[in-house]
Chain A
């Protein structure tokens, strides 16, 4: 391989317009690829909203589209949290719904008949394309090499850490929030570099959008002040920083306070205090800067110490007093669990019961980031080498992002952008070094020539020391191996997306014996049954995981849902599920429950069922009623959690156990009933239910719905009524035996 074709290849892209055209084409292709790679589930299954939370967002979007913006803003939802209801309009982040509503209206205005569901399903992929472009812009602020931006866009587009929350159908706040996060950071860097009020205002605008979209906005609220603080500590205070920060803070805070759910939090809670503090600090610095220019330096020194010390003490004291007086709310539970990972498990089981709030396992980093996780430190190191203001930002972001990602699985999402940026910087620096076709004049011979030359040390020492890699072999090896790594990265991303993140979890896929795909659609079967064949206002009690799905698919009022704003109410449901029928029935009557829905995986071997989640119900109920519900009594004396004949009496008598296994043994020959999920052989006599009756069971028994019986017509309690009904049958049996006994009067 001679240098000629390489040179011509390099000159093709030399022209400025050719380069920018190429960049646009490549960026468009990256955006297209990032959209396409998120469509697995649509192609494999259908255009469907995934999992749990998206169903609420979808329902809220439908409400917005149907009733208009103002009634959405004032929406009081009496179909959730029965009988409390939920001030939905004031307790959600409306950004997502408003975005898709606006898109829908725009398409309608163009008379394109698109279903709001399809807008919602495809919103996340569409925004991931934008995120890729935002990552490109952000990275371009870090290096002069354009290839870094393109690589960052590519990484951002397909990194599993981000795909996990943005596949088609994953209609959650994160779908647009990550784009807003990256883009706000880009605008912040731009504002900081230029000291421009315009960019600062734009940054504030997108920050406001971010606040409207995701609770994770606090990440920006803390990161930008932190960045500023680090810069100040490094002695890099400048008017650029002052302009950028104050513009962002003043406008951004005002914008964020327009969201009802946020309201006065930016001036009231501890999470927002750093931003406020740095804002004040910057004013002081500006003032001092001014004073320094006005008075002699000796006086200034003493003035500075007194002034700064005094202000700091007053500020800190004020903060402490305000917090203890209750004016400023202390850190919320979720924030505490960020510092102490064991906190939630002890104090707030409801947060700990969510799998995505668990600390991250190490393999998850590799799973979600693949080789980027190795390149990430290299990129950060390269940032240290240059260490301009924007590189400090990457470093600060990297440190905090890594910490949070280590604490909570879910926050892998906020780490991914910086990993992509840093890794892109690393790879592009490597490639720029190794792909440099320029060779020094004395080295214009072929590769053999250079080898010969290295064999003669005398010549080498005589020539000027040349820095760079010129051997075609080392170039080839390096570039080749990195091409392979990048290819493997693409393969890994595709594999992870296809296998781990593209399941709607509403629909399960299995294989028929002939290899064809068989869809297990029990959830929707049962929800559709509820929707069509029960009263419009029939209240459904289920564990909170299914609240949003019931609201979205079955369109029926629920007692608790995934919003989890009222721990006591959830504990009430937990208590009803984990207590004896005699205890549960009055609870259900008091809450006007008509149907109870449980998820049972025993027939199919489906692991996400209620028996597996049961201990959380017990724990949450125990948190409120420690005297009535006791986790220990659900374990056998040997400490095992069993469902078979060895299960404890408390377990066997709990409503959840009864509802899960009611009638199950009739499906098998006597004594052969097996729970395939837990590999347990069930007792020959199944549980009996007296206060409720089976209303519907889906095809594979995943969803079981029970109807709560009305009060007995004769005023008996249900236990004795049911016993009487059973007793009658027994009496008939004794009558049959009757004639054998001779009666003597």
Chain B
């Protein structure tokens, strides 16, 4: 009894959450605002202090700008703009902006401004929760990810060599506002970064950057005008695969009759690291397995799934791949897969994995009679070096006849490009199942823990339709067979009678 009470409490919480989300999801359906093509942000803010942290520890770039901003205009302002190049904006994802002083506040809405497709400078508009009064200050933290950020140097190398990547950025944080004081930190995966751009120092520091362990610091710099750029290139050791998922299709199929939730994920996986200068040599590869197991080739992917997952499979276009292990027990469900061949730079390996889980683990009923499904938005591999996803298409296939579909997700809205409800026909469906299709782009595996909550209702008539249809059509077949059987097609029969 007690557990059920807890249960219903949790359910009501979930249902209220989904209702809230439904309201918000309708407003954020378009993630960009259209402005006149001559648009240029007004210099209404200044950054009094700014710390720009660039992390190249994983195979995507995570940048973090913490800024104290001050309104220098006469009127209250609520839109803070952040500039990107048009190339960057296509690779930009996972933007989250928070109020640094108030961690409990919901993140600010950040969206790409749509004004002139040809322009090389594009803007991200951050909508502050409340307009900032003239002269007032606020501390904001902007986090975003850039995909396909590196280029290997040398671009081709031997398979036993160590891979180095380069990344270029500006020592001055990109801003359309004047910045009084700032510094830029770069975090590397290891302390081996042989080449980086050096700048003359200011004050008592003779030369930038300063090196501390696996970290480089450019700055602090003095006042920098809006739009200033100081190009920096760093080259660092990254002897790990640069895993890039060009496209991930993730299907979540809910079956009420079977009490099952089936997952299937189709990956289009690339290695964006250095290409091989001389072609793959199996002898060297087998030897290096013993002597030098650390390699930049992708050998294995690990998928920690939700506890209770079962019947995992791993296939590719020509059938089952036998090099996988699946361990599922009370504490964990770990799927370890190996590609058919070790993946080197420039190589490609598309594959499919899937598994089942009991519907109890994901679906709850609400007191009102509806259902709430809560699944992870992403369940991709968990690798030390990280994984980036360029395109993600999540299809949640609900039971036939499901209606009133609402969803909520904590994935940054900037990354979600569209969400539609469509019809998916399978397994003797007559009207087809309701499918919620969410398309997202430029995500990274840091968002593995984010959930997608979908609420929906299934009328009783809809759930009884299928057995009824099957029963009636089978009956019809039998009747038809019987009717045909009674026909007499024999020429002679009439004579005999």
Contacts and interface: CB of A to CB of B under 8 A. Distances in A.
25 contacts: A46-B319, A48-B320, A110-B428, A111-B425, A111-B429, A112-B426, A113-B426, A507-B322, A521-B321, A521-B323, A521-B340, A528-B316, A528-B341, A528-B349, A529-B341, A532-B348, A663-B283, A667-B283, A693-B279, A695-B279, A697-B281, A697-B282, A698-B341, A699-B341, A707-B279
Interface in A687-728: 693-699, 701, 707
Nearest to B313: A46
A45 B320 CA distance: 9
A531 B317 contact: yes
B34 interface: no
Nearest to A667: B283
B461 interface: no
Interface residues of B, number: 27
Interface of A: 45-48, 110-113, 507, 519, 521, 524-525, 527-529, 531-533, 553, 663, 666-667, 693-699, 701, 707
Closest 7 CB pairs of A and B: A697-B282, A519-B322, A46-B320, A525-B340, A695-B279, A532-B348, A113-B426
B201 interface: no
Contact of B319 (A48, A531, A532, A693): A48
Interface in B278-337: 278-283, 286, 316-323
Nearest to A663: B283
Given A111-B425, A521-B321, A527-B318, A694 B349 contact: no
A199 to B, nearest CB: 13
B319 A663 contact: no
B280 A696 contact: yes
B428 A533 contact: no
B284 to A, nearest CB: 9
Given A110-B428, A112-B427, A532 B280 contact: no
A434 B350 CA distance: 64
B427 A525 contact: no
B281 A663 contact: yes
Contacts of A521: 321-323, 340
Contact of A533 (B319, B348, B426): B348
A701 B349 CA distance: 20
B447 interface: no
Contacts of B350: 532
B347 interface: yes
Interface in B199-236: none
Contacts of A525: 340-341
A524 B286 contact: no
A694 B279 contact: yes
Given A48-B320, A528-B349, A663-B281, 13 more contacts: A46-B320, A111-B425, A111-B429, A519-B322, A521-B323, A528-B341, A532-B350, A553-B318, A663-B283, A693-B279, A696-B282, A697-B280, A707-B279
B469 to A, nearest CB: 11
Contacts of B347: 532-533
A528 B316 CA distance: 9
A693 B280 contact: no
Contacts of B283: 663, 666-667
Nearest to B270: A532
B337 to A, nearest CB: 13
A699 B429 CA distance: 44
A525 B280 CA distance: 14
Contacts of B316: 528
A695 B286 CA distance: 15
Contacts of A707: 279
Contact of A111 (B279, B340, B427): B427
A666 B282 CA distance: 10
Interface in B215-264: none
Contacts of A531: 317-318
A528 B428 contact: no
B428 A111 contact: yes
B340 A528 contact: yes
Given A524-B318, A524-B319, A528-B318, A111 B426 contact: yes
Contacts of A532: 347-350
Contacts of A112: 426-428
Interface in B348-364: 348-350
Contact of A529 (B281, B319, B340): B340
A528 B347 CA distance: 11
A244 to B, nearest CB: 17
A78 to B, nearest CB: 21
Contact of A696 (B279, B317, B323, B425): B279
B190 to A, nearest CB: 29
B318 to A, nearest CB: 5
Nearest to B284: A666
Nearest to B490: A198
B27 to A, nearest CB: 36
A695 B280 CA distance: 5
Nearest to B489: A198
A694 B281 contact: yes
Contacts of A698: 282, 341
Nearest to B491: A198
A701 to B, nearest CB: 7
Contacts of A695: 279-280
Nearest to B346: A533
Contacts of B278: 693
Contacts of A533: 346-348
Contacts of B317: 528, 531
Nearest to A110: B428
A45 B280 CA distance: 29
A508 to B, nearest CB: 11
A659 to B, nearest CB: 13
A489 B203 CA distance: 96
Contacts of A694: 279-282
A663 B279 CA distance: 13
Given A525-B341, A533-B348, A701 B320 contact: no
A192 to B, nearest CB: 18
Contacts of A667: 283, 286
A89 to B, nearest CB: 24
A162 B321 CA distance: 30
Contacts of A527: 318
A418 to B, nearest CB: 31
Nearest to B321: A521
A701 B279 CA distance: 16
Contacts of A697: 280-282
Interface string B64-107: 00000000000000000000000000000000000000000000
A699 B280 CA distance: 12
Contacts of B321: 521
A693 B426 CA distance: 48
A110 B426 CA distance: 9
A110 B340 CA distance: 35
Contacts of B279: 693-696, 707
A666 B320 CA distance: 32
- Greatest chain A CB density within 10 A among B281, B349, B429 is at B281
A698 B278 CA distance: 17
